[in-house]
């Protein structure tokens, strides 16, 4: 087997990290910026949903294009388009144009991310997929944490336009590196082992939509990320409008969330490989839902930090286990495709969460908004329980 941490993977991760940095600088700031130009919560939720619709299209098609054509084209073009779109946010405050920019931004940014998970899914040993997925996710979380803090600090220091300029510049750098640095890298494909072994078991190539575990895991991702759509969109409003936080403090909240995730992802991935991916997914769902309930009743900055950390613990348990379980059910040549589909399902959940959250926040306020996220996330427990131990062990190294 080709070495997992090869120079190819380093180049891929570098491009993905720069793309993530560009997006994460804006993540805690975008709701505050839109509110500052008179966008109400309902419209804010719809804008985020439009971006997620673009991401559904981008992730699903981006993974498939990567499996067919290689990495340079989808990653390079997507990053360059992302740079142009982010810069364009500074040129208009007209609602129709902002909706269009969100849609294009969603398509462009989402075509970058299936590649990293897909490449690791193809290269990692079956019994260690969750561990390697967790390492990758930890690196991503560290970048997002740093970017969130920097974004909030820049707004308080230099104002909103500076954040958009910096984000656009980083995306441009990511695109240049993709075009110049990813030549010749092709997705890995399955090779039959000379001596078959349990850990060499290769799932059969076939229509992904017929795989029961894939369907269950993608549906669970929708429910879990519906919660994320609510928290990601309305946590900045909770912090500023309810707790009276500044833009810098909003950045700190997202930074703490990312740091907790970063620190815990690796041990949670190791636990998933050692003691069971399904069980850790279930525990993660329960813990993240409890964090959402806590956020519903948080009234100050300190309690928001506490419950955001609890929610991040739950996500650190759920994510590497779910992605590793998914990867174990598809062959190498379909890894980027299935990761794109899984990412699209995550985006569908975020669409539903941001849209539903906008209406709930406008009518009933923050408590029902965050409690709804907890309830929908908790439904994922029932789906995970439908994955029997025998089924998971047979295909994905439970």
Q: Work out the end-to-end distance of the chain between its first and last CA atoms, rounded to an integer number of angstroms.
A: 21
Question: Of 281, 287, 323, nearest to 129 (Cα)?
Answer: 323
Q: What is the pLDDT of residue 303?
A: 93
Q: CB–CB of 281/322 below 8 Å?
A: yes
Q: Tell whether pTM > 0.75.
A: no
Q: What is the pLDDT of residue 323?
A: 82
Token reading at 94? 């007209």
Q: CB–CB of 90/165 below 8 Å?
A: yes
The CA distance from 163 to 28, in Å, is 11
Reported as half-sphere exposure (CB side, CA atoms, 13 A), residue 63 has a value of: 27
Question: Of 313, 293, 317, 289, nearest to 303 (Cα)?
Answer: 293
The CA distance from 209 to 297, in Å, is 40
Q: What is the pLDDT of residue 1?
A: 41
Q: What is the pLDDT of residue 392?
A: 52
Question: Of 97, 93, 103, nearest to 35 (Cα)?
Answer: 93
**Given 3-state DSSP classes, what are the helix, strand and coil percentages for the chain, each rounded to the nearest 5?**
85, 0, 15
The CA distance from 130 to 121, in Å, is 9
**Locus of tokens 């336009």:** 161
Q: What is the pLDDT of residues 355-391, one digit of tens each?
A: 888 888 888 888 899 999 889 888 888 888 887 554 4
Reported as half-sphere exposure (CB side, CA atoms, 13 A), residue 305 has a value of: 12
Question: Of 257, 307, 264, 294, nearest to 24 (Cα)?
Answer: 257
Token reading at 9? 């993977």
- Residues whose CB falls within 8 Å of the CB of residue 33, separated by 6 or more in sequence, listed in order: 160, 163
Residues of the chain under the 70 pLDDT cut: 1-6, 60, 62-64, 66-72, 113-130, 183-211, 331-336, 388-398
Q: CB–CB of 277/171 below 8 Å?
A: no
Domain ranges of the chain: 7-183+208-396
Question: Of 378, 359, 381, nearest to 369 (Cα)?
Answer: 359
The CA distance from 151 to 323, in Å, is 29
Q: Which CATH class is domain 7-183+208-396?
A: mainly alpha
Instruction: Write out the DSSP string of 52-113.
Output: HHHHHHHHHHHHHHHHHH-SHHHHHHHHHHHHHHHHHGGG---HHHHHHHHHHHHHHHHTST
DSSP state of 331: -
Backbone torsion region of residue 373, taken as left when φ is above 0, otherwise alpha when ψ lies between -120 and 50, otherwise beta: alpha
The CA distance from 360 to 226, in Å, is 13
């Amino acid at each position: 087997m080709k070495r997992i941490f090869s120079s190819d993977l380093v180049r891929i991760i570098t491009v993905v990290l720069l793309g993530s940095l560009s997006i994460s600088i804006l993540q805690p700031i975008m709701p505050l910026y839109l509110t500052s130009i008179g966008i109400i919560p309902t419209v804010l939720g719809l804008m985020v949903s439009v971006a997620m619709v673009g991401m559904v299209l981008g992730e699903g098609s981006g993974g498939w294009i990567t499996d067919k054509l290689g990495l340079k084209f989808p990653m390079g073009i997507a990053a360059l388009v992302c740079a142009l779109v982010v810069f364009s946010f500074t040129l208009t405050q007209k609602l129709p144009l902002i909706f269009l920019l969100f849609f294009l931004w969603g398509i462009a940014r989402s075509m970058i991310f299936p590649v990293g998970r897909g490449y690791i899914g193809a290269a990692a040993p079956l019994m260690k997929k969750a561990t390697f997925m967790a390492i990758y996710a930890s690196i991503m979380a560290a970048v997002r944490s740093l970017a969130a803090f920097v974004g909030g600090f820049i707004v308080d220091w230099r104002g909103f336009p500076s954040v958009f300029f910096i984000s656009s510049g980083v995306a441009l750098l990511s695109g240049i590196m993709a075009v110049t640095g990813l030549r010749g890298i092709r997705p890995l494909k399955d090779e039959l082992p000379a001596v078959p072994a349990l850990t060499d078991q290769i799932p059969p190539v076939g229509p992904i939509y017929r795989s029961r575990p894939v369907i269950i895991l993608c549906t669970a991702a929708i429910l879990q990320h519906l919660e994320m759509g609510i928290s990601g969109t309305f946590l900045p409003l909770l912090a500023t409008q309810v707790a009276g936080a500044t833009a810098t403090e909003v950045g700190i909240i997202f930074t703490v969330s990312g740091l907790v995730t970063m620190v815990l992802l690796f041990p949670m991935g190791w636990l998933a490989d050692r003691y069971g991916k399904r069980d850790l997914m279930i525990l993660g769902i329960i813990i993240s839902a409890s964090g959402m309930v806590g956020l519903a009743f948080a009234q100050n900055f300190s309690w928001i930090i506490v419950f955001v950390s609890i929610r991040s613990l739950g996500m650190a348990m759920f994510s590497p286990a779910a992605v590793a379980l998914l990867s174990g059910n598809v062959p190498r040549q379909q890894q980027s495709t299935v990761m794109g589909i899984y990412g699209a399902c995550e985006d569908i959940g975020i669409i539903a969460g941001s849209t539903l959250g906008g209406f709930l926040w406008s009518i009933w306020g923050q408590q029902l908004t965050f409690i709804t996220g907890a309830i929908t996330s908790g439904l994922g427990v029932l789906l995970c329980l439908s994955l029997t131990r025998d089924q998971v062990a047979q295909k994905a190294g439970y």
